[in-house]
Structure 1
């Protein structure tokens, strides 16, 4: 059985194969032809790490999301990540929640200065992100949300998504990427620290849906090209 055929399944074996293919091809170690699993690709044809287009690996792609086209896909993603939603707000997944994702914008900021992103494997939406430019200050970008489906965690998807978000922020003139992580979400904070984010300060308790949270604002300095 070819590795690609294994990777497209849903077993534990599939998760391992998918991670191997995504990580090795992008790292230019053990390159594979993703169509057959047998003919090696040259390093020049493997997707480059940190590339600023929509292709983040041979298995995954990223594109902007549109409410009129992608509403059902985003709702499905929320349902596959409802453990985080329950932790954050205690709210059930609803059309209102999904509509808020598409319409959410910081105070005094124009929605046109933000982008809603989806990371796909083929037509399957695996993760979403909400990125705002020039917020809270010029030269900043703010990642309001990055949500990965439960079954897709641990495959390097978050790392690929962060690389793309940083590249996109840089292209819009940002020198710093900000986000806030819940105090109770210890695993998420560890992830962001691995991605090069550092603590700026701790925010006072705030109401989020049915819950009250302390959040930690973190930052990643974006180097110029």
Structure 2
């Protein structure tokens, strides 16, 4: 019997997204933030920042989290205070273009009218936070800009300051492990190296039987649980098949 393909809820762009004003609800919405699309790239990395700078970012997000979205976006005074404005992609010497942000879902990246990218300040000297509003009125942080590189200023001769990604302990550790696994050990039968290679071989063995181990973000895990609870999917296999079918149809 032919298996019915699960149907997920249709994606409907927010009609107010062009001017990112929150949806009209009885209860004003507070600012909420998502890091699902945040990434470090050249000119927007944290390799030259310190812990005090990161504390400043978190403190500013904490302050905005107490604000109603509408009270900020509908107030010229507050928008000026936060230096909140759309990104000018035609700015002289801008080091990145919207199309370069290829880790962001096409629906958002390729739809500048419904999802304009904006920025607000951490402080006048500490840089900017860059992102966009999605359909749930969540501000998705895409880039952190400690050196004002997104909008080069005439006052600084449109110069940009070099900076790059800062590796965390986890990614540094993984890189070190991979490097050790690829190195030649003086001992012909190095137990540690072969134990690591055995883990990789087990993963490939599972894949040969159609078993894949993946890690989901907290947000995607909650979304999957919601879809399952509402009966849109029965299990993670349904989600995978919808994704595969969607990719094939788009080819």
Give me the TM-score of the superposition, normalised by structure 1: 0.27
Which structure has the larger Rg?
2
Q: Which has the higher strand share?
A: 1
Give me the TM-score of the superposition, normalised by structure 2: 0.25
User: Which structure is higher in RCO with an 8 Å CA cutoff and minimum separation 6?
Assistant: 2
